[in-house]
Amino acid sequence: MKRNNQKLIINIGLFFALSFMLIYVGQFLFFQDNNISENAYNTLSSSVASSNSVVPSPVQYKHVTETINECKQEIYMLEFDPRDERVEFKPALSFDNIFGFEKLSDICKRNGAYAAVNGGFFYQYGDPAGMVAIDGHMLTASTGMSPVLIVDKKGARFDTFYSNIYLEHNGNKVKINDMNRIGKDNDIILYNYKFGSTNRAEIKNTSIIVEDNTITAVIEYAKEVKMKKDANVISFYGDKANLPEKMGLQAGDTVDIRIEPYLGYHYQAYECGSMLVKDGKLVVPERDKWAGTLSNRDPRTIIGIKTDGKIIMLVSDGRQPGYSEGMTGKEMGEYLIKIGVKDAAMLDGGASSQMIINGSLRNRPSYEGIERPVAGCFIVKIK
């Protein structure tokens, strides 16, 4: 009897031990898939959260403090890919006209731009020193002396060329000297309404009005000739004033205005100052035609193209000891190469060097830290 009781206790113990083992193994076998599914769900949730996160801006802004040759420098940079469809990049002129000066922040606001830097050099009344083309429309011609930044669907590049403009009529071809400039004796100048309400002529001229390649009027031996928004005016000054008559130009005639080189319908262009970097190599001259000597440490604005095709717009403050000393042309060129810039050219500098981001001035211009009105700029919009 005692032996039977022992066997019963042993059997009961084995039963409970086996039951616990089966329960444990069952959990491992039958519930492991649920754990895997939960882990997979967590991974998926993480992926979904990532895909629903804020898309990075196509325009990157950076402010860095550098010490270059024992001099403190405050540097502000904008970087973007001009081929990115989310980005619209173009030049802009003060008040959308050839002449005048306007605050950079006001140009930004009027154009609905996210960012802007000051543009290139200009004459006394704000008219650009070289070529400007906006949305495929040339406003001033290239001088052939300085690099032109050209941006189209293929990307950005620098090129140096002279704009050749011709008037063609009945097989005859006449060279036009310039575009949207004050006319001088023996000049032939092409104008559009961006020049102002008239051709601002100070000497007598004969002008033809051209609309849709058709002469609508010939105005003989006048001075100022009024502009129309959708028309071109070609003015023949001084001894050239009798040329329209010799060519037999009359109202109703068909003419063709040709511009070479042909850059297409959808491009932006802006003539800059001297190249600082070309093909990844330092090419800084001793002097720039507009900025003068480049051995001084000054505030500078630069536009460049990186090795990956992205455009970089850079402003470095200067003339402010203890805050930012400014860079020489050589120091700027070396810094640009260091950060991966392949080609770069100067824009206007000094007190004009300034950058606007989202409506606010980010750098500290050398003239009392305030905006200086500019004649033109580069603007960046985010679509």
What's the CA gap between 378 and 353, in Å, rounded? 12
Q: Are the C-beta atoms of residues 148 and 267 closer than 8 Å to each other?
A: no
Task: List the chain pLDDT tens, one digit each, 383 residues.
Answer: 444 445 544 555 555 555 544 444 344 333 333 333 333 323 222 233 334 455 678 999 999 999 999 999 999 999 999 999 999 999 999 999 999 999 999 999 999 999 999 999 999 999 999 999 999 999 999 999 999 999 999 999 999 999 999 999 999 999 999 999 999 999 999 999 999 999 999 999 999 999 999 999 999 988 899 999 999 999 999 999 999 999 999 999 999 999 999 999 899 999 999 999 999 999 999 999 999 999 999 999 999 999 999 999 999 999 999 999 999 999 999 999 999 999 999 999 999 999 999 999 999 999 999 999 999 999 999 99
- At 55 the pLDDT is 62
Q: Are strands 172-176 and 268-271 parallel, antiparallel or unpaired?
A: unpaired
N- to C-terminal Cα separation, the chain: 94
What does the DSSP 8-state code read for residue 195?
G
Q: Which two tokens stand for residue 263?
A: 């850059």
Q: Give the pair of three-digit tokens for residue 226.
A: 């009024």
Residue 2 three-state SS: helix
Domain boundaries 164-260, corresponding CATH code: 2.60.120.1140
Asked if 41 and 48 count as a contact pair (C-beta separation under 8 A), the reply is no
* pLDDT for res 6: 53
SS3 171: coil
**Confidence (pLDDT) at 320:** 97
pLDDT at residue 29, as a whole number: 37
Residue 155 token pair: 């990307």
Q: Domain map of the chain by residue range?
A: 59-156+266-382, 164-260
User: 360 pairs with which residues across the strands?
Assistant: 357
CB atoms within 10 A of CB 269: 24
Q: Identify the CA nearest to 288 among candidates 120, 112, 36.
A: 120
Rounded to the nearest angstrom, the gap between the alpha carbon of residue 345 and the centroid of all alpha carbons in its chain is 13
| Residues 212, 229: Cα–Cα separation, whole Å | 12
Which tokens in the block code for residue 128? 């650009």
Report yes or no: 77 and 357 within 8 Å, Cβ to Cβ.
no
pLDDT at 30: 37
CA neighbor of 340 nearest in space, from 312, 316, 307, 300: 307
DSSP state of 54: P
User: Which residue from 15, 249, 271 is spatially nearest to 145, judged by alpha carbons?
Assistant: 271
Alpha-carbon span 360 to 192, nearest angstrom: 33
Phi, psi of 224 (to 5 degrees): -70, 135
